[in-house]
Amino acid sequence: MEGMEGIGPRLRTYEVSMDSFVFLSRYIFSSLNLIAFLGGMGIQELRDSFNLKPNPEGGEYAESFRDDAIVLRKETLPSRFKVGRPVCTAIYFLLPTGSVSKLHRIPSAEVWHFYDGEPLTVFELNGETNAMKHTVLGRDIAAGQLPQYVVPPNVWFGAYPTSDYRVDVASAAVEKLPDRSKEDHYSFVGCTVAPAFEFVDFELAKRSELVSSFPQAKAFIELLTDAE
């Protein structure tokens, strides 16, 4: 038995690695199947197929996964988490033209996955670095669009349909473009949160407070917050 002592940890590592590989393989193939299935769908078909409902931040959503197999107790989490929670959650998120996802923050990282429709821009304000950031999700990789993006924990972030606005990042200027049909112009994405999303942590931004903290981003803050 002495010769077997070093094998156990390696076997356990191998088993975990294989489990991760199987999970990732299934996730990739299911995502590819979803993208193929979505081709040509209208916005009402998306609502009906995925039982989407209004989201407090804007847009529409449906929770598709909540991993209750492992629950993290509050005392095991950093102090920014208000309650215990499962390991992760996932949602479908629909953002029609003319709508925005208002600036908000949560204590977890959030992974955005692009599925269908038009490009969507994720906008971030980082209180630690005082920086603002624009990230475009979409299919045009050559143009710098990403199929997936991770928003770090505890930063303010929101999103808007990229084609709804003319944006000058250097001067932080935003110009609204002519309205378009909501039936034909939308972004359909997924969001995965780990540790899991809980509404008790969800914080919508107040316009005046953010403008005071990030005056250089005033135009984007006004776009992605409610008037007070």
Q: What is the pTM of this model?
A: 0.82
Q: Answer whether residue 222 shows pLDDT above 90.
A: yes
Task: State pLDDT tens for residues 149-181.
Answer: 999 999 999 999 999 999 999 899 999 999 999
What are the chain's domains? Answer: 41-224 (2.60.120.10)
Residues comprising the chain, all counted: 228
Q: How far is CA 23 from the centre of its chain?
A: 20
Residue type, 92: Y
pLDDT band at 5 (very low <50, low <70, confident <90, very high): very low
61, 52 Cβ separation under 8 angstroms? yes
N-terminal to C-terminal alpha carbon distance within the chain: 71
* Separation CA 23–CA 48 (nearest Å): 28
State the burial class of residue 22 (Cβ atoms within 10 Å of its Cβ: 0-12, 13-18, 19+): exposed
Q: What is the pLDDT of residue 41?
A: 78
Q: Answer whether residue 24 shows pLDDT above 90.
A: no
Q: Answer whether residue 10 shows pLDDT above 70.
A: no
% of the chain beyond a pLDDT of 90? 78
Task: State pLDDT tens for residues 89-139.
Answer: 999 999 999 999 999 999 999 999 999 999 999 999 999 999 999 999 999
